[in-house]
Structure 1
Amino acid sequence: MSTIRFLSVLVLLISLLVVTPAPAQAAPAPVDVYPVPSIYPASPDYTLTVNGTPVPVQDYPGYDIAQFAMGAGDATIAVTKVNNTAIGAYRISPRKLGVSAAVTGPTLTFTIHDDAYLIIKIDGRPDLVIAADPVETNRPSSSGAGIFNVGAAPTTASFQQTLNDAAAWGSATGTQGIVYVPAGVYPVGNLYLRSDLALYLAPGAVLRFTGDRAENEVHWRKESQQRDITWFLSTRYSSENISIYGRGVIDGNGKAALAPSNLGVNLLTPIYTTNFLVDGVTFRESSSWAIMPTRSSNMTFRNLKIFNRFDMGENDGIDVMESSNVTVQHAIGVGLDDPFSTKTWDTTVDLFSKVPGNPRPLSDVTFDDLMSFTYCYGVKVGQGVFQNQQNVTFRNVTVYDAAVAIGVHHKYGTATAGTIRFENIDVEKLSFSNDSNRTWLALWTGDTHGTGPITGVTVKNTRLYTLGTTPARINGKPAAPITGVTLDHVYAGTATTPATTLTDLNITNISDNGPITIIS
């Protein structure tokens, strides 16, 4: 045997002996199950386990909810139909995660590798929202220096005093006093947040709005709903350095709270404040706009869950209004009305009838990593544009279902809505209709309280699994055209190449607009 042949055989034998190791399997993630108080009934449709640990599933009007936190590693989730009938069809969203599943009789099993907000559809059952939060890393001690406890059954007045004491301690020490709210249900009225305060809601803690006018101030009147509105939690004017965090719940108690005297509620109104943080909290069942950051700056909302009803109107999720340097990061919004939007107003609007000061423009607002499920707009600028709105970005968004996925609706005012970006958007379903629109894109201008321009709108890296059933629209006004629209790598259906014409994207309802640029 020649030397070359001998060496070749030797190399072959060695290669056969070398075994490539299999990819390492991630360890199961630790799971933190949130206590669910008895005021929230169990789902009649589903049970759920995560890595073998039971997680409560809540029955909610229009859909079901399961919530937990997971650490590093994999979470194997098993969803079982309660009556044990075999699963026929299922769907897991966001589709872009590429989650595969196995069906065994009544059980759907799949694995996620990171925390995520998901919506599962099984046969004709209600949608199941699964909110898998990141594990808490900043949970405070329940006692010690700077920790203030609310007690077992606080009144609204005593709860407010605890907040005031903690804020005073924070200001005196140059930090934040922490109000620790353990698991339990706390029926309270208006609560006001002062500077240098942190409100911690432990898993299982619920602040529940009472609807009692005796302990709630009327902050404004919403004429379209013909009811007075109160701010459940709000900041004192000119405040700073305030945090609300934890895995607890702020609950507007929806229809039940309206019953006594038709008093509606905004769940959280940070107004005239700066350096404000919300992290990990669930907001549910608001009877009016849920979260209203107003005339404020340097605000962060992350790991945000907004669960509103489909049978109550004008219950927007988070409406950023007349504010600057605002970030909404990793959030799910579900409800009849717009989950994620920006607005600006003037002093004549009912919302500001009792608010001092002057209107402000809105700028530098970013929404990132969203899941939206609504009967209205998935993500939107408007309707109010009384003051300029500039540099608004929505990115990494899944519109699970909506009437309109992406929108700029300049209905009110004469100011400019400009430099607006929609990036990395997935549109999965469009099952509903709003103002006769059932489409993926609506950029349009109204003439209520004047008209104003829309300029510099970019839609980039967007996947449209559906285009809807009505034409996409770009409709300005002769005195306020829509200009500077760019469609950059927008994909229709499952196409592997981006659209090259407006017809490809069903954009056929066009008027009073400048050139539309398509980049493919």
Structure 2
Amino acid sequence: MTTTATTAAAAKEQADAIAARVRPPRFPDRDFPVTGYGAVGDGTTDCRAALKAAIEECAAAGGGHVTVPPGTYATGAVRLRSGVDLHLEAGATLAFSRDPAAYLPPVRTRFQGVEMYGYAPLIYAHGERDIAVTGAGVLDGRADETHWWPWSGQEEFGWRPGMPQQEDDWPRLWQQAEDGVPVEERVHAAGRHFRPNFLETYACRKVLIEGVTFVRSPMWVMHPVLCENVLVQNVTVDSIGPNNDGCDPESCRDVVIRGCTFNAGDDCIAIKSGREADGRRVNVPSENILIEDCEMRHRYGAITLGSDMTGGIRNVFARRCRIGGPGLYFGLYIKTNSVRGGFAENIQLDDITVTHLTKEFVTCDFYRGEGDTGGYPPRVSDIGIRDVSVARARRALLAQGYPHAPIRGLTMAGCTFGEMAEADQVRNVEGLTWNGAR
């Protein structure tokens, strides 16, 4: 099998085409201030009913802006409707309840790549179009070492032996997926310990997330699933909790992540497409994703593919990004093996500046985790790394495929690597090309 490498000119053309296709939704020039529906920004008054009434009336009127003026508004789950822009003015904060009951009834969601009915994400939409969360305000999930985070099972985040954790419940959900149990029968909310994601748009079209700041998320921060035309721009994620990925497009098409700053508790951007049996059942890849002009500061992968990538990932472009910090591990991190399977093809990084990583700039190790114990060897091909400057890292490259399923087509062109602590590790890679200085 041979792999044709994508050229720099072709990569730019494809990235520009994604940028041109992904356009923000437009909203009628109508405002629905939440204070007009009884919301009070005193930090204690429960504003759930007011937010819901404003959103429903805005949607019924044909769309517009549900505005949140300065103040702190206590709320539970917020559900978006088509045509609605939830707009937080400067000085406005939505402070979300720590009570799990505030995120019932259960909704269709994904937990670590497996579909189920679980606690509602703090902000949620399903099957909607032309929706947005915008403004200069703050979305505060209020998670900490006493609420939500201990369910991770990590002592660093408040869990102690004998306390409940998500790993107690995970085997049942995973087995249901393996057995093909209908999603409607996989109900794991009250009494279970799967943390909700912060903002999740499920099967939506034309989504905009712009300008807002996310803090203290229970789990993943932004999670578009099965969506098309998603624009995330000028967003700040400052949430160093367990599994606090910054943005996780999953089984999505045509996504632009632009001008964002990620100070995350896990991967900054993690592209996904479902996990194992459930990923093969749904079988929708993530494709046509552009990441540009972003800053990734903390913690695991700056740009990660997987590990829930059974449905495959293709056509990912990153350019003009700044990466690095004392707590950031990897630059490009591709996570899969023969248990997860899937594919990653046409992954192109251009004009990336890296200050400091604790591990490799590029890592793709099929033996990570379960090793070679499954029946679904992954396919990874056409990885292009161009005009990258890395000041300090453990290695430039760790690439290890299987003898029976090698990594195919890895190009490093015009890259400079400064202080590298260890030599590169490369095994079972076909078509590794170094062009330019190291």
Structure 1 counterpart SS, 2:261: strand
Could you tell me which residue of structure 2 aligns to residue 335 of structure 1?
264
Over 3 Å counting, the alpha-carbon distance change for 1:422 and 1:506 in structure 2 is: farther
Distance (whole Å) between structure 2 residues aligned to residue 481 and residue 505 of structure 1: 26
Could you tell me which residue of structure 2 aligns to residue 345 of structure 1?
274
Could you tell me which residue of structure 1 aligns to residue 126 of structure 2?
236
Aligned pair partner of 2:295 in 371, 382, 387: 371
Aligned pair partner of 1:358 in 261, 278, 282: 282
Task: Tell whether 2:425 aligns with 1:509.
Answer: yes
Please show how residues 439-454 of structure 1 align to structure 2 within 5 Å.
439-446=360-367, 447=372, 450-454=376-380
Aligned pair partner of 2:330 in 385, 404, 420: 404
CA contact (8 A) 1:445 1:453 kept: no
Deviation at 1:486, TM superposition (A): 0.5
Could you tell me which residue of structure 1 aligns to residue 58 of structure 2?
166
Please show how residues 99-118 of structure 1 align to structure 2 within 5 Å.
none
Taking only the aligned residue pairs, the percentage that are identical comes to 21
Deviation at 1:493, TM superposition (A): 2.2
Could you tell me which residue of structure 2 aligns to residue 275 of structure 1?
206
Deviation at 1:146, TM superposition (A): 4.3
Could you tell me which residue of structure 2 aligns to residue 206 of structure 1?
93
Aligned pair partner of 2:353 in 421, 426, 444: 426
Distance (whole Å) between structure 1 residues aligned to residue 110 and residue 81 of structure 2: 24
CA contact (8 A) 1:492 1:505 kept: no
Structure 1 counterpart SS, 2:292: strand
Relative to structure 2, which stretch is displaced further, 410-419 or 378-387? 410-419
Bigger relative contact order (CA 8 A; separation at least 6): 2
Letter in 2 for 1:389: I
Task: Tell whether 2:32 aligns with 1:147.
Answer: yes
CA contact (8 A) 2:271 2:304 kept: yes
Aligned pair partner of 1:416 in 343, 360, 379: 343
Could you tell me which residue of structure 1 aligns to residue 314 of structure 2?
390
Deviation at 1:448, TM superposition (A): 6.4
Distance (whole Å) between structure 1 residues aligned to residue 277 and residue 52 of structure 2: 31
TM-score, with normalisation over the residues of structure 1? 0.62
Deviation at 1:264, TM superposition (A): 2.6
TM-score, with normalisation over the residues of structure 2? 0.73
Task: Tell whether 2:232 aligns with 1:301.
Answer: yes
Deviation at 1:512, TM superposition (A): 1.4
Unaligned runs of 5+ in 2: 1-26, 152-190
Could you tell me which residue of structure 2 aligns to residue 17 of structure 1?
none
* 1:299-334 deviation line (CA, Å, top 9, x unaligned): 10110100012xx32111101110010000000001
CA contact (8 A) 2:411 2:433 kept: yes
Over 3 Å counting, the alpha-carbon distance change for 1:377 and 1:145 in structure 2 is: closer
Distance (whole Å) between structure 1 residues aligned to residue 435 and residue 273 of structure 2: 31
Task: Tell whether 2:391 aligns with 1:465.
Answer: yes
Deviation at 1:202, TM superposition (A): 0.5
Aligned length: 347
Distance (whole Å) between structure 2 residues aligned to residue 511 and residue 148 of structure 1: 59
Letter in 1 for 2:288: D
Distance (whole Å) between structure 2 residues aligned to residue 286 and residue 359 of structure 1: 28
Over 3 Å counting, the alpha-carbon distance change for 1:263 and 1:321 in structure 2 is: closer
Deviation at 1:232, TM superposition (A): 0.5
Deviation at 1:444, TM superposition (A): 2.2
More strand by share: 1
CA contact (8 A) 2:88 2:134 kept: yes
Structure 2 counterpart SS, 1:164: helix
Deviation at 1:336, TM superposition (A): 2.5
Unaligned runs of 5+ in 1: 1-139, 171-175, 432-437, 495-503
Deviation at 1:166, TM superposition (A): 0.7
More helix by share: 2
Over 3 Å counting, the alpha-carbon distance change for 1:211 and 1:330 in structure 2 is: same
Relative to structure 2, which stretch is displaced further, 152-161 or 482-491? 152-161
Structure 1 counterpart SS, 2:316: strand
Letter in 1 for 2:400: N
Could you tell me which residue of structure 1 aligns to residue 21 of structure 2?
none
Task: Tell whether 2:212 aligns with 1:289.
Answer: no
Deviation at 1:384, TM superposition (A): 1.7
Which is greater in Rg?
1
CA contact (8 A) 1:168 1:177 kept: no
